[in-house]
Structure 1
Amino acid sequence: MYEQKDTYEEMVEHLDSCRQKLLKNKSNELNVKIVLSELDEMQHKLKAYDEVFGRENYSPEEWGTFQAENPLRLCMMLIGRDPSKAFTLWGCFQNEIKKELRPGVLGQLLSSLPEDFVPAQATDWLRDLVVPVACAVDPEAVARIFDWVNISLERMEAAGEPEWISNAVRFVTTLLASLEMACHCTVDDLRLLGAEVVKAKLSNANFLKPLRSLVSSLEELRELGAKFKFHIPLHRLQQESKESLAMCMLSRVPTASLLPAALKSTILPYIRSRKLVADEILARYVE
């Protein structure tokens, strides 16, 4: 049963043959059940190998490592060089990984993602497989996710892709919805010790406040660019008030001759949309 074959198809055939022989063996039913259980696990791993790497890429050496290694450790080994394979592997072994997750592991996984990784590609993994589980075993899981989101957004902004803000809004909004959904999970849904404690923490009004604030900031950033033709770094926006943003808009007008047109096209519309008093803003500007 543990013999390595040269091709994936030969390995499948070999394990099927072992199963047939075991099912015919009536000499020691207890031992047969034990070996069948091991065979079930091996066939599950072989199928997972196909999903993660593809049967066309099978090699006896890699299969031997894959078969013997702990799924969570395999995931940690893969995530730095091929995140999509790590996510697929997690899905194949989610029940096994649930049992292995410990506080701090999620932070290690997220910090191992490549610098050029597109955060939105992790949405399904985080929403469906990580959030409902990690939040129940790691009290710091949400904080680690938030740290990773901030680092990822900094990289997205630095890359300067035209659609980075819209992509960021979609990603963070989806992630926030996943965490809010976890607030409504029952202990039976999570099926993990300590789930009630974590649920209570997630339900705390302030616990997800930074993520909600981040969504608002990103939406504000998008509107400023699209509607008012005003661009500002995300970290700067988070430090500014509505009044100071209006002052920034005024200060960016290069000459006095261009001020009337700028006021009409973007600055006054912004001031009105934020329910500010135009005369007060302009008075401060000319002081």
Structure 2
Amino acid sequence: MKAIRIHNPGGPEVLTLEEVPTPQPGPGEARVKLAAAGVNFVDVYQRKGLYQINLPFIGGQEGSGVVDAVGDGVTEVKPGDKVAYTSVQASYAEYAIVPVARLIPVPDGVSLEDAAAAMLQGLTAHYLATSTYPLQPGDFALVHAAGGGVGQLLTQIAKKRGARVFGTVSTEEKAELARASGADEIIYYTREDFSEATRRFTDGKGAHVVYDSVGKDTFDKSLDSLRPRGYLVLYGQSSGPVAPVNPQILNAKGSLFLTRPTLVHYIATREELLQRTNELFSWIKEGTVKVRVDKTFPLSDAAEAHRYLEGRHTKGKVLLIP
């Protein structure tokens, strides 16, 4: 089969298309013929070596497709089943081996492309809004990169939970996407101080929570955007990692909370994974949460897909199509 392998950390050019043996499923595993693989910043961090992984490796952690073989003793899925998954390495390929405990049935009415697009970003938005800081009606939430893939989904879920959302964006095009997702106020962070704007929108009180996927460039002002005992949820670092933090700053700025969550700890059990995906897919199926697939690339163009993602051009999900 064809797969994208990485032999050394580096730029997009280290993503190489190779012919590798088609893997065989073992006990408790299924082989999925992939229809789509998600491209995410975690893949970029792995490619650059910011997140350590044994070399060489096949990129990607998210995909959807059809089961085409199962290992011994597997009864949970069968060949022909439509499935999706996330947080399993090696989805930049024509086939992937996935533990059946991580496979999610894709219901009728949800396309395989939408399913692949919804897994990591949709589940991330779900746990951020419902668990890390469980939004309540009337809460003020500042969402960075509100026109991006997670930002659009997070804004939609936040509105479902009754929050008032302030979305930061860089362009009018991104602003339109954030508005379409339900953002109540738009902040052009390239033109104004987003912490001052947040204070203005909240009568000087500050937000209850800031969802920050940007990291280095926004961290300090994100803290300044919070009310006393507010939550800074730092769940990404698209601008680079945040410098070491003196915890005393949280005291000085109002007994703030700082957390750095990651999806794997919010889908650690099969029960929690199913609960989140079932709710997410039901919202997608009924149309109350919309997934936007921004752009698809052939598997062979994985390097170009990474350049597109890193260039902050995305207006939704980026997918590789084997």
Q: In which range does the TM-score fall when normalised by the shorter chain?
A: under 0.3
Larger Rg: 1
Would you tell me which structure has more strand in proportion to its own residues?
2
Scaled by the length of structure 1, the TM-score of the pair is 0.26
RCO greater where, 1 or 2, for CA within 8 Å and sep 6 or more? 2
Scaled by the length of structure 2, the TM-score of the pair is 0.24
Would you tell me which structure has more helix in proportion to its own residues?
1
